[in-house]
């Protein structure tokens, strides 16, 4: 075969360049973009749970361990070490280089995240993070493990920010609760007040993140103002007594003793002070940054406050600490 013929694209079907919102409007049935559904999770609420990860988040936390969760648009993730050089991705994409395998099978500058190449990759060297799912499709997966949930467990809606896709997340919660499944919501709370006001009627337990209370620091580390977050936590504490947990991600160099005291003061001043979980920073998300072609966050040079010291500060200031 001549070189010019080999290079000719044999695209299996036209690239879908529609945005997620356009596609939803055209296809009618409401869908959410979900990037993972994790079964047998034991850290996302009480008991054994299935966690549904909704894609898209209004915050840009410098330490994010799920970088594929930030954009709501499905994204191509590449794991070159898994490539077996089979060339099956080449016909899917005119942008890939058949004369330079395996390197030529990786992300071209012009990648539009259409996902056609990932569909045919046999080794998961190419994967798409994010797919549109209907309420029924999400519930079908979530209900597979219902016998394991028993009294305590259930389903957690997380992300990303599940409240950024609240109409579908709420419909999922309603459908699962109608079947007797306990539904928790893991949220960063940076959403409009009207959305937060709607939560207590549809969700059994809220796991709300509190990263920083000092406004400048919050802007510095997450790229967003925290006024709405603090207001949301206040509202939920009043509306959901006994049904709100606070999660504090402890990040090296981000919260010092002074900041933790301020956070404790804020939480103790709520109408129903909620129990608090301190979550330690880990580096498990680094390979995902590489797969997306992004530099991973580097907190290695930052002084880390030990978890025990942090929990002691919070407990001394009158908060109820939970085991994690």
In the bound state with ligand SF4, the residue whose beta carbon lies nearer, of 116 and 246, is 116
Total binding residues toward ligand SF4, as defined by CB under 6 A = 25
CA distances to 77, 84, 98, 134, 145 from 68, in Å: 9, 24, 28, 20, 26
Smallest gap from residue 296 Cβ to ligand SF4 (A): 22
Q: Is 18 in the site for ligand SF4 (CB under 6 A)?
A: no
Among 125, 172, 263, 313, binds ligand SF4 (CB under 6 A): 125
Q: Is 115 in the site for ligand SF4 (CB under 6 A)?
A: yes
DSSP assignment string, 173-242 = HHHHHHTT-EEEEEE---S-HHHHHHSTTT-SEEEEE----SHHHHHHHHSS--HHHHHHHHHHHHHSTT
In the bound state with ligand SF4, the residue whose beta carbon lies nearer, of 61 and 105, is 105
Smallest gap from residue 118 Cβ to ligand SF4 (A): 6
Smallest gap from residue 285 Cβ to ligand SF4 (A): 21
CA distances to 113, 159, 245, 291 from 295, in Å: 19, 21, 32, 10
Q: What is the CA radius of gyration of the chain?
A: 22
In the bound state with ligand SF4, the residue whose beta carbon lies nearer, of 58 and 98, is 98
Instruction: In the chain, count H helices and then E strands.
Output: 12, 10
Among 49, 55, 126, 182, binds ligand SF4 (CB under 6 A): 126
In the bound state with ligand SF4, the residue whose beta carbon lies nearer, of 111 and 175, is 111
The CB density around residue 254, as the number of other CB atoms within 10 Å, is 23
CA distances to 75, 103, 104, 119, 208 from 108, in Å: 13, 10, 8, 17, 39
Q: Is 190 in the site for ligand SF4 (CB under 6 A)?
A: no
> What distance, in Å, lies between the first and last C-alpha atoms of the chain?
60
Among 24, 37, 46, 95, binds ligand SF4 (CB under 6 A): 95
Q: Which two tokens mark 25?
A: 């409007």
Q: Is 74 in the site for ligand SF4 (CB under 6 A)?
A: no
Q: Per-residue x/- marks for ligand SF4, 75-94, CB under 6 A?
A: -x------xxxxxxx--xx-
Q: Which stretch binds ligand SF4 (CB under 6 A): 120-128, 147-155, 266-274, 316-324?
A: 120-128
Among 116, 188, 250, 278, binds ligand SF4 (CB under 6 A): 116
Q: Per-residue x/- marks for ligand SF4, 247-286, CB under 6 A?
A: ----------------------------------------
Q: Is 188 in the site for ligand SF4 (CB under 6 A)?
A: no
Q: Is 181 in the site for ligand SF4 (CB under 6 A)?
A: no
Note whether 32 and 139 are within 8 A (CB).
no
Smallest gap from residue 110 Cβ to ligand SF4 (A): 7
Note whether 244 and 290 are within 8 A (CB).
no
Note whether 89 and 117 are within 8 A (CB).
yes
- For binding to ligand SF4 (CB under 6 A), which residues are involved? 76, 83-89, 92-93, 95, 102, 105, 108, 111-117, 121, 123, 125-126
């Amino acid at each position: 075969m001549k070189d010019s013929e080999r290079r000719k694209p044999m695209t299996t079907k036209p690239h879908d360049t529609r945005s997620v919102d356009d596609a939803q409007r055209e296809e009618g049935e409401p869908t959410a973009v979900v990037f993972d559904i994790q079964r047998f999770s034991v850290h996302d609420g009480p008991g054994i749970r299935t966690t549904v990860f909704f894609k898209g988040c209004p915050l840009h936390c410098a330490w994010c361990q799920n970088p594929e969760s930030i954009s709501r648009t499905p994204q191509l993730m590449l794991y070159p070490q898994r490539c077996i050089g089979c060339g099956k991705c080449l016909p899917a994409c005119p942008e890939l280089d058949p004369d330079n395998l395996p390197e030529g099978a990786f992300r071209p500058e012009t990648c539009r995240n259409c996902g056609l190449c990932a569909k045919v990759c046999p080794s998961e060297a190419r994967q798409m993070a994010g797919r549109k799912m209907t309420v029924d499709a999400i519930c079908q997966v979530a209900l597979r493990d219902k016998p394991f949930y028993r009294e305590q467990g259930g389903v957690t809606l997380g992300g990303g920010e599940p409240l950024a896709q609240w109409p579908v997340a709420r419909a999922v919660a309603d459908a699962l609760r109608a079947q007797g499944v306990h539904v928790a919501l893991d949220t960063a709370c940076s959403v409009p007040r009207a959305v937060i006001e709607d939560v207590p009627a549809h969700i059994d337990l809220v796991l709300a993140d509190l990263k920083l209370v000092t406004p400048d620091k919050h802007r510095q580390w997450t790229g967003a103002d925290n006024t709405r977050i603090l207001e949301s936590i206040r509202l939920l504490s009043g509306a959901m007594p006994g049904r709100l947990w606070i999660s504090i991600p402890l990040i090296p160099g981000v919260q010092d003793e002074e900041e933790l005291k301020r956070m404790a003061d804020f939480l103790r001043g709520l109408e129903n002070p909620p129990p608090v979980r301190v979550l330690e920073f880990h580096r498990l998300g680094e390979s995902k940054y590489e797969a997306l072609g992004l530099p991973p966050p580097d907190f290695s040079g930052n002084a880390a406050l030990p978890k025990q010291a942090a929990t002691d500060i919070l407990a001394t200031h009158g908060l109820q600490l939970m085991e994690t």
